[in-house]
Chains A and B, each alone.
Chain A
Amino acid sequence: MSRRDAPLADRLAALREAVEVADGRLEVPEVGRARALLAKAGARAALGDATVVALAGATGSGKSTLFNALSGGEVSTPGVRRPTTGVAHATVWGEDGADPLLDWLEVPRRHRHEPEPALDGLVLLDLPDHDSVKLEHRLEVDRLVGLVDVLAWVLDPEKYADAAVHDRYLAPLAGHAGVLLVVLNQVDRLDAAAEAACLADLRALLDREGLGAVPVLAVSARTGRGVAELRGELARRVTARRAATDRLAADVRGAAAALAEHAAADGAAPLGRRERERVVEDLGDALAAAAGVHAVTAAVERSAHRDGIARTGWPLVRWTRKLRPDPLERLHLGDDRARTSLPPAGPAELAGVTTAVRRAREVVGEGLPQAWRDDLRRTAEVTEADLADRLDRAVAGTDLGPDRVPLWQRAVGGLQWLLAAVALAGALWLLVLVVLGFFQLDDVVPLPRVEGLPLPTLLVAGGLLAGLLLAVVSRPLVALRARRRARAAERRLRAAVDVVAEEDVLEPMAEVRADADRFRSAVDRARK
């Protein structure tokens, strides 16, 4: 499939996709121009497949004479005074529906030519000059050069090497060689040898400008030489009925080539999994510090410690623990709709987040052109602005792990109550003994002794001592369990923070990269 054969519709669709992807992301003028081109393409397509050929050229090159020669009558008035033509004239062959097209082109002066089978569907325009002192002529030429289907540049032996035409029009149209035609008019002013030399020089000049594919025709509008060939060339283009699409295709290629300046190089593949993981881990570290994960885990540890002590402690004093507030409670966690009472992140933590986000941006932006990296920066700025709230919600909504009371703590707690009950029983027994003693009934109830110590006394002392001992022994175990619980909570919090890092920080940036990739492939399709 040759370059030119890619259907225009596909190209336009690709360009439209590129513009849509770039919308709101790329702040470059090329996108606006591509959008204008899409609008033009839509308008032109609706106006039928007539072929609009414009005769453009310098003042005095004989555009109007040639126009009249082709139109077969004095439609445009040539003159000896310069500049002459100030507004564009049109001659329409056959085609009845050319009026909307000419309205769109804003060409008010129209001439209807007798139907002529070979040229039916041709709309020939005589443009004003582009190089005279009249600036408005130049602006009109610039406008129409952007709209017509085929451009026939009329040069003459005197002016064919002017910078005004080559630098301003021909060289920039290098991508439009297919819709260009160069006519060297007034060859009657040269002898044969001079004409050949002149044509060869012009040909070489065009080749240097990348216009090697553009046909050059030697014409003399005055003597009529070469006009038939020019007419034939025009007829060929008119019957092909594809000048309009060729022109648009060339325009799309040009717009896509301009956009390609902002497309990533081929190497910008989507982010690899390992790269992603590394970025998430790096971000997670910084976000965890900023989210106060450390403060929460410390609170979890203290809370578990407090509860454990309350459960396994010496019953006589363990209620005092309950007087202290639960450190975890105070943080107001557990409800992701309410703000937690975690202290806001300190400057160092925030700095850490900024640096981590920046590093992530660098990884994601690797190989992207400046315009896309600018968008990446804007995206990251937006993300960073509401990161604090997002992190707070993530921490608040994290399940810190099952808060089951360990069996052993229950057992120790039960044992403590048992021991307390034993001590209480001993104490009651002693009280009974005291009462009995008061009533001088000591000897009625036998007092069992163990190793010579009275049993109730033993029960009181033993129960209290054993309880105290048990409390002391279970303390390190409680601490161990509290640490374990804190670690479990930290893992869960970290996972929640990693989700924030992945979804709220990395994902928007990865989307930019994916869009950059989509943009590149759309631009490639539009210009291939």
Chain B
Amino acid sequence: MTTPTLRLPDALEALRDRLADAPLGLATPDRDTARRSAAEVTHQIDDYLLPRLRDLGAPLLTVVGGSTGAGKSTLVNSLVGAPVTTAGVLRPTTRSPVLVCAPADLGAFSGDRVLPGLPRVTGAAGGPGTVQLVGSDAVPPGLALLDAPDVDSVVESNRELAGQLLAAADLWVFVTTAARYADAVPWDLLRTAQERGTALAVVLDRVPPEAAAEVAADLAGMLDRAGLAGARLFVVEERALVEGRLPEDQVAPLRAWLHALAADQEARAAVVRQTLTGALDSLEQRVAGIASAVDGQTRAAGALHAAAAAAYAAARDGVDEGVRSGTLLRGEVLARWQEFVGTGEWMRALQGQVSRLRDRVVSAITGRPTPADDLQGALENSVERLLRAEADRAAERTVTTWRSLPGGADLLAGDDRELEQVSPDFPEAAAAQVRDWQGAVLDLVRSEGADKRSQARILSWGVNGAGAVVMVAVFAHTGGLTGGEVAVAGGTTALGQRVLEAVFGDAAVRSLADRAREDLQSRADELMAYEQARFDQRVDGVVPDAAAADGLRAAVRDLATARRTAA
């Protein structure tokens, strides 16, 4: 890479911007996961990584998270020794997070430094999605406790907010209970914490005193197996609450641990470093997942494009096939030729006979049947009909194929009926093209015919010359007595010229027909391309940038370079 090495925050910002632009518009199977993952990474960069990198010495943000009803709020109140957050029996209890810190640290959290997307409220609790700030002397400086909403209740916004808050934490205090500790949802989060290297403490709450040892051992075993052996485990027994708080002896170990952490500059820095490094390390894999989803988008878009292209290529072939079979085109060119050469009915019939004879000979040799020639059929109409039928077929084929392709059904979005036939202005455009084509054929005949006409004349002079020789011969033999030479002269001139014109005209018509076919084909291509564009635009509308995945990967590489330089 020749790009200049970026500073770490700049590299993160660049990555975040790339993620915001990542095209995830096609409903591929992994799209929603990738979208969620992209949002999570973006939030984590804004909420945690950037603020933490800018100020490594800022107070430690400890997020108390876990299942609904696990007693998070009660635990926080008990730690602080004051009812700072509402505990209760209704689930979910906490809907807006509460952040408790030493009064001196309030300044560190009131600004937009951490969690810039969430408004701050002081005094009474704010609405959902706001952070309530509480200063308390019971919390040592350098440490903030955040009571997060649950991770698993029916309130979806809670779950999302909790995820965002946990991603912003320097330290997780994960609260679970004796009834819950094997639930699938919290374990998913614990696994995430393990993958991201987040510093973690686990509180096993509401443990019946008689089962405390057994349950704690079981949970410790589970943590161990999940690779979380380093996490501190605190057991809180289920006892009657004292003024809404846990008995002092149950929370003391946890409080002591937290206070020690707050007091020990080095330990705190170690926690910060662990979570920060883990989060940065995890970015690579998470973004790789998003990038591969973006790749999937590009592939899906390619398949959709290909389906439309195949259908319309078939349509173009169909038009070509129809035109190539002969009559359609030769009829048109022949009529124009005859108009131009100005031959009469007899001439017309003669030419018709000659071309039919040829067709018959050709079909006898090639075995192909002579097509029905019905030149009277309105030609303009036939070509239009052919174009229309092929375009309709292609549209329908595209829609049908799209429905079975990933993201295709979504892209059609209820417009199937409209899309599975030609666009509304197609008939008019086709009629205009066919008219133009006919004009072009006339021009072609005119320019070609002008010089063919003189050639025909020269050739017919040749015939006339031969006729003259015959005349002389007849005259010499009969001594001019029978007058036969007069008949020969008349016959030669009239018939010879006509026959030649007919034969010659047919050849000219054939070569002209080929050129007219090419012209019609290019016009048909244009029409079909316009039709196909309706589909292509839909795909391009949601997948604009084919290089987005590479951009993401490059941003991650830049980030890695920036980290190496910073280290």
Q: What residues of chain A have their CB less than 8 Å away from a CB belonging to chain B?
A: 58-61, 80-83, 131-135, 138, 156-164, 166-167, 190, 194-195, 197-198, 201, 205, 289, 292, 294-295, 342-352, 354-355, 358, 370, 374, 377
Contacts and interface: CB of A to CB of B under 8 A. Distances in A.
B483 to A, nearest CB: 28
Sorted from nearest, which 9 A-B pairs have the closest CB atoms? Answer: A60-B179, A347-B322, A348-B382, A161-B91, A82-B182, A351-B389, A158-B69, A80-B211, A343-B372
B180 A355 contact: no
Kindly name the residue among B374, B383, B385, B390 whose own CB sees the greatest number of chain A CB atoms within 10 A: B385
B154 A163 contact: yes
5 contacts: A160-B91, A161-B69, A292-B372, A351-B385, A374-B400
Nearest to A344: B369
B228 to A, nearest CB: 13
B386 A351 contact: yes
A351 B390 contact: yes
Nearest to A352: B385
A420 to B, nearest CB: 32
A346 B372 contact: yes
B177 interface: yes
B196 interface: no
B328 A347 contact: yes
Given A80-B211, A347-B328, A157 B69 contact: yes
Given A157-B89, A197-B90, A351-B385, A58 B328 contact: no
A351 B416 CA distance: 22
B372 A351 contact: no
A166 B159 CA distance: 14
A210 to B, nearest CB: 14
B392 interface: yes
A351 B177 contact: no
Given A59-B179, A162-B153, A348-B328, A354 B393 contact: yes
Given A347-B321, A348-B385, A133 B90 contact: no
Contacts of B182: 59, 82-83, 132-134
A358 B183 contact: no
A135 B321 CA distance: 58
B114 interface: no
A358 B69 contact: no
A249 to B, nearest CB: 28
B386 A198 contact: no
Kindly name the residue among A61, A132, A159, A194 whose own CB sees the greatest number of chain B CB atoms within 10 A: A159
Kindly name the residue among A167, A350, A354 whose own CB sees the greatest number of chain B CB atoms within 10 A: A354
B90 A201 contact: yes
Contacts of B498: none
Contact of B180 (A159, A348, A377): A159
A370 B180 contact: no
B65 to A, nearest CB: 15
B348 to A, nearest CB: 17
Nearest to A354: B389
B316 to A, nearest CB: 14
A163 B159 contact: yes
Interface string B350-390: 00000000000000000001111010010001110110111
Interface in B199-249: 206, 208, 211, 214-215, 218
B450 interface: no
A302 to B, nearest CB: 15
Kindly name the residue among A162, A348, A349 whose own CB sees the greatest number of chain B CB atoms within 10 A: A348
B92 interface: yes
Contacts of B208: 80
Contact of B184 (A131, A190, A295, A342): A131
A348 B322 contact: yes
B188 to A, nearest CB: 9
A161 B68 contact: yes
A197 B93 CA distance: 12
B531 interface: no
Nearest to B409: A370
A374 B400 CA distance: 9
Contacts of A345: 372
Interface in B295-337: 321-323, 325, 327-328
A341 B208 CA distance: 95
Nearest to B321: A347
Nearest to A195: B89
B90 A164 contact: no
Interface of B: 67-70, 88-92, 152-156, 159, 177-185, 187, 206, 208, 211, 214-215, 218, 321-323, 325, 327-328, 369-372, 374, 377, 381-383, 385-386, 388-390, 392-393, 396, 400, 416, 421
Nearest to B92: A161
Contacts of A163: 152-154, 156, 159, 185
Given A163-B154, A166-B154, A295 B180 contact: no
A377 B325 CA distance: 28
Contacts of A344: 369, 371-372
Contacts of A355: 385, 388-389, 392
A205 B154 CA distance: 9
Contacts of A205: 154
A167 B388 CA distance: 50
Contact of B154 (A167, A197, A198, A377): A167
A159 B151 CA distance: 12
Contacts of A342: 372
Nearest to A289: B377
Contacts of A158: 68-70, 91, 177, 179-180, 206
Contacts of B70: 158
Contacts of A350: 322, 389
A289 B182 CA distance: 75
Kindly name the residue among A60, A131, A161 whose own CB sees the greatest number of chain B CB atoms within 10 A: A161
A355 B421 CA distance: 10
Nearest to B213: A80
A386 B159 CA distance: 60
A370 B177 CA distance: 50
Kindly name the residue among B155, B206, B327, B374 whose own CB sees the greatest number of chain A CB atoms within 10 A: B374
A346 B325 contact: yes
A295 B372 contact: yes
B183 A59 contact: yes
Contacts of A164: 152, 183-185
A91 B67 CA distance: 33
Nearest to A166: B154
Given A135-B184, A158-B206, A164-B183, 8 more contacts: A80-B208, A132-B183, A133-B184, A157-B89, A160-B69, A163-B152, A198-B90, A294-B374
A158 B321 CA distance: 73
B89 A194 contact: yes
Contacts of B377: 289, 348
Nearest to A351: B389
B390 A131 contact: no
B180 A82 contact: yes
A205 B91 CA distance: 10
Nearest to A159: B69
B145 to A, nearest CB: 22
Given A61-B179, A133-B183, A348-B377, A358 B371 contact: no
A138 B325 CA distance: 65
B412 to A, nearest CB: 10
A352 B153 CA distance: 61
A81 B214 contact: yes
A81 B211 CA distance: 9
Contacts of B369: 343-344
A346 B389 contact: no
Contacts of B88: 194, 197
Kindly name the residue among A162, A164, A167, A354 whose own CB sees the greatest number of chain B CB atoms within 10 A: A162
A163 B159 CA distance: 10
Contacts of A162: 67-68, 91, 152-154, 185
A91 to B, nearest CB: 24
